[in-house]
Amino acid sequence: MNIKLLYKILAVLMLLPFPAFAQLDLAGVFFNEMVIQRDQPINIWGKAAPGQRVTVSFGAISRSGRAGKDSTWMVTLPAQKANTKPQELLVRAGNQQVARSNILVGDVWLCIGQSNMEWPMVGEAHYQEEVANSDQPLIRFFNPTYAGKNIYGTVYTDSVVQMLLPERFYQGRWQVCDSSSFRLMSAVAYYFGKEIKEQSGVPVGLINLSIGGAPLETFIDINALERSRRFSDKAKGDWLINNQLPVWVRDRGRQNVEELAAVPADEYGKNHPYKPGFAYLSGIQPLIQMGIRGVICYQGESNAQEADRVEEYGALTKLMVDDYRRKWNNRRLPFYYVQLSSIDTVRYNGYLWPDFRDEQRKMLQMIPHSGMAVCSDIGARDNVHPTDKRTVGKRLARWALNDIYKLESLPSGPLPIKAHWDEGQVTVTFCYVGEGLATADSLPVRGFSLDGKVDTEASISGNTIVIKTTTKPGWVYYGWKSFSDGNLVNSEQLPASTFRLVVR
């Protein structure tokens, strides 16, 4: 080619708007080895040159669309049934092409919470025996790391600060479950997903966005907080000095970023994993266009340190779940969560945990299509991180298997319905008793009280608990200790929830 002509062509190209050269790209969640949600329209999106025609093929299905003026595009494919045969996702625009391989169609679960959800398989009580079962090609993980992970009580480094932007905060890709990839995966999520896959045969994708120490507020859209009559004050001013947020959380935030000048910030203060709305903006909002089956959550320790934060927790969780359901346009989006376990107050500030567990129990009535895994029987007396996550994951899976996969099994341990006093005795009735109430150790019933302080004798009578008392008490309590010694279970050995119930 004539060199002068080449220079002229280059000069013309340089005058064209930069977006005309936009690289065809897929959104960050679309990687090899991923799982796409079954039985829901499949949205695929990314960026390309403005106005460019984009064609998306998945399996035998193709659809096309065009990139907008801002370079973004989205193409919607028809829903597909669950498929254990890997397929290829192919995207074309002009002479560019992007491919993703080894993709399954199944059920995708969003996993959120703090360190007990984050807790990796390598530190789980049954890890060594589970290694032999870890080759699970129908289970896939999106298990990103995040800026500031495992950094507590010290100032963030410059490299961490540079990652405190929503688009950079979470870093990771999809992986097939095997003995290597599952080492750092959430143990609770792994056992949950494995139980779902084994019982249903449906491929399972697990997106783990949990953050050690994180308060619930970081997983809630800041706009949802602002719109809330009750919780709008959580989204006002610098979060590091906002007394509507947990004290411990703000203390940790100040340790990490208060002394630093170069931390990315906005009207709510410096960015941080614990900042209200930050995990939502960084990890959840980018997924809203992607179909999911439901949400599992193990969170609460950071919101259980002060009475005001305990009392509001149920309503705050409902705000989050309602907002997720609006965003995903699914009023029945399942939400299954873990009730806090047991811990002593000698080495940990757990004196409000009975109140908190009861607040979580009441969430079952506040939030339709929810389920709670009771774990007070597997707590560690002096450690906020009990290492038996297999039991936790399996108990969460019971709710999903019962509600979604329609397997006939008890999803829960005994939950109280009412307490009635008559003729010198309080009778407490329960649901989810199965073939009857029992005790986990075959010893007399423990854990009941009429004042929340002193144990009282109780006995099993069919599907009820009977407590003898000559005067009508105001309340009946069960498991009302930080480290509960309650032993009431149903016929499937599932434990009863902590509760405080008015005696009628």
Question: How many residues comprise the chain?
Answer: 504
- Beta carbons of 481 and 441 less than 8 angstroms apart: no
pLDDT at residue 9, rounded to an integer: 44
pLDDT at residue 272, rounded to an integer: 98
Torsion-angle region of 182 (φ positive above 0: left; ψ -120 to 50: alpha; else: beta)? alpha
Q: At what angle do helices 307-327 and 353-366 cross, to 10 degrees?
A: 30
- Mean pLDDT of all residues in 284-289: 98
pLDDT at residue 347, rounded to an integer: 84
Q: Which letter does DSSP use for residue 287 in this model?
A: G
Q: Which letter does DSSP use for residue 394 in this model?
A: H
pLDDT tens per residue, range 229-277? 999 999 999 999 999 999 999 999 999 999 999 999 999 999 999 999 9
Three-state DSSP state, 112: strand
- Mean pLDDT of all residues in 465-490: 97
Measure the CA–CA gap between 318 and 413, rounded to whole angstroms: 22
Put simply, whether the predicted model's pTM sits higher than 0.85 gets the answer: yes
Q: Closest Cα partner for 460 from 448, 445, 478?
A: 445
pLDDT tens per residue, range 129-164? 999 999 999 999 999 999 999 999 999 999 999 999
Report the b/e string of 423-436 with b at 16+ CB within 10 A.
Answer: eeebbbebebbbee
pLDDT at residue 2, rounded to an integer: 53
Q: Closest Cα partner for 172 from 205, 206, 147, 142?
A: 142
Q: Closest Cα partner for 400 from 292, 489, 491, 287?
A: 292
The number of beta carbons lying within 10 Å of the beta carbon of residue 60 is 6
Sequence-distant (6+) residues with CB within 8 A of 468 are 424, 425, 457
Amino acid at position 215, single letter: P
Sequence-distant (6+) residues with CB within 8 A of 193 are 109, 139, 204, 206, 393
Q: Closest Cα partner for 327 from 209, 229, 189, 219?
A: 219
Q: Which letter does DSSP use for residue 75 in this model?
A: E
- Beta carbons of 363 and 373 less than 8 angstroms apart: no
Q: In the predicted model, what is the mean pLDDT of the chain?
A: 95
The number of beta carbons lying within 10 Å of the beta carbon of residue 407 is 14
pLDDT exceeds 50 at position 4 = no
- Beta carbons of 232 and 225 less than 8 angstroms apart: yes
pLDDT at residue 408, rounded to an integer: 86
Q: Which letter does DSSP use for residue 282 in this model?
A: I
pLDDT at residue 21, rounded to an integer: 53
- What does the domain layout of the chain look like in residue ranges? 106-298, 415-502
Measure the CA–CA gap between 73 and 26, rounded to whole angstroms: 9
pLDDT band at 424 (very low <50, low <70, confident <90, very high): very high
pLDDT at residue 38, rounded to an integer: 98
Strand boundaries in 194-250, DSSP class E: 204-208
Q: Which letter does DSSP use for residue 76 in this model?
A: E
pLDDT tens per residue, range 350-403? 999 999 999 999 999 999 999 999 999 999 999 999 999 999 999 999 999 999
- Mean pLDDT of all residues in 474-503: 98
Give me the residue label for tokens 């144990």.
455
Measure the CA–CA gap between 376 and 343, rounded to whole angstroms: 9
Which long-range contacts does 455-461 make (Cβ < 8 Å, 24+ apart)?
460/436, 461/427
pLDDT band at 17 (very low <50, low <70, confident <90, very high): very low
Percent of the chain at pLDDT exceeding 90: 93
pLDDT exceeds 50 at position 123 = yes
Q: Which CATH architecture has domain 415-502?
A: Sandwich (2.60)
Measure the CA–CA gap between 206 and 139, rounded to whole angstroms: 8
Measure the CA–CA gap between 330 and 346, rounded to whole angstroms: 44
Measure the CA–CA gap between 55 and 305, rounded to whole angstroms: 52
Measure the CA–CA gap between 270 and 240, rounded to whole angstroms: 8
- Beta carbons of 42 and 103 less than 8 angstroms apart: no
Give me the residue label for tokens 């009431």.
488
